[in-house]
Amino acid sequence: MNPCKDDPEVFSQDIIARARKLNSSLLADAMDGANTMSYDISPVAQGYQMVGAAVTVSMKPGDNLFLHEAIYKGAPGYVLVADGKGHTKNAYMGELMAVAAEALGLEGIVIDGLVRDCSDLQKLDLPIFAKGFVPNGPYKEGPGQLNSPVSCGGVFVQPGDLIVGDDDGVTVVPKHMIEAVFQKAEKKQAYEEKRLKEIAAFKEDRRNGRSERTIEPSWLKEKIKPFL
Q: Which of 33-42, 136-145, 208-217 has the lowest mean pLDDT?
A: 208-217
Residue 5 forms part of a structural domain: no
Confidence of residue 27 (pLDDT cuts 50, 70, 90): very high
116 labelled binding-site residue: yes
Residue 7 forms part of a structural domain: no
Arithmetic mean of pLDDT over the chain? 95
Same domain, 154 and 186: no
Region for 126 from its dihedrals, namely left if φ exceeds 0, alpha if ψ lies in -120 to 50, beta otherwise = beta
Residue 67 forms part of a structural domain: yes
Written as one string, the DSSP assignment of 171-226 is EEE-GGGHHHHHHHHHHHHHHHHHHHHHHHHHHHHHHTT--------TTHHHHHGG
Q: Is the pLDDT of residue 4 over 50?
A: no
Contact 133, 118 (CB under 8 A): yes
Residue 3 forms part of a structural domain: no
What pLDDT was estimated at residue 160? 98
52 labelled binding-site residue: no
Same domain, 76 and 114: yes
Q: Which of 28-42, 52-66, 76-90, 211-225 has the lowest mean pLDDT?
A: 211-225
Same domain, 28 and 107: yes
> pLDDT tens, 115-131?
999 999 999 999 999 99
What pLDDT was estimated at residue 5? 52
Same domain, 113 and 33: yes
Same domain, 21 and 114: yes
Helix (H, G, I), strand (E, B) or coil at 67: helix
> pLDDT tens, 96-113?
999 999 999 999 999 999
Same domain, 103 and 131: yes
Same domain, 147 and 36: yes
What pLDDT was estimated at residue 212? 74
Residue 1 forms part of a structural domain: no
- Residue partners of 143: CB distance under 8 A and separation at least 6: 1, 3, 60, 66
97 labelled binding-site residue: yes
Same domain, 145 and 64: yes
Q: Which residues pair with 58 in a beta bridge?
A: 83, 145
Q: Is the pLDDT of residue 1 over 70?
A: no
Same domain, 111 and 188: no
Residue at which a domain ends, from 175, 191, 208: 175
Same domain, 88 and 195: no
Q: Which domain, by its residues, includes 192?
A: 182-227
Region for 173 from its dihedrals, namely left if φ exceeds 0, alpha if ψ lies in -120 to 50, beta otherwise = beta
The angle subtended at Cα 74 by Cα 163 and Cα 153, nearest 5°, is 35
**Domain count along the chain:** 2
* Residue range 162-167: mean pLDDT, rounded: 99
What pLDDT was estimated at residue 2? 36
Same domain, 114 and 38: yes
* Residue range 25-33: mean pLDDT, rounded: 98
Q: What is the CATH number of the domain that holds 102?
A: 3.50.30.40
Contact 24, 170 (CB under 8 A): yes
210 labelled binding-site residue: no
Same domain, 118 and 24: yes
212 labelled binding-site residue: no
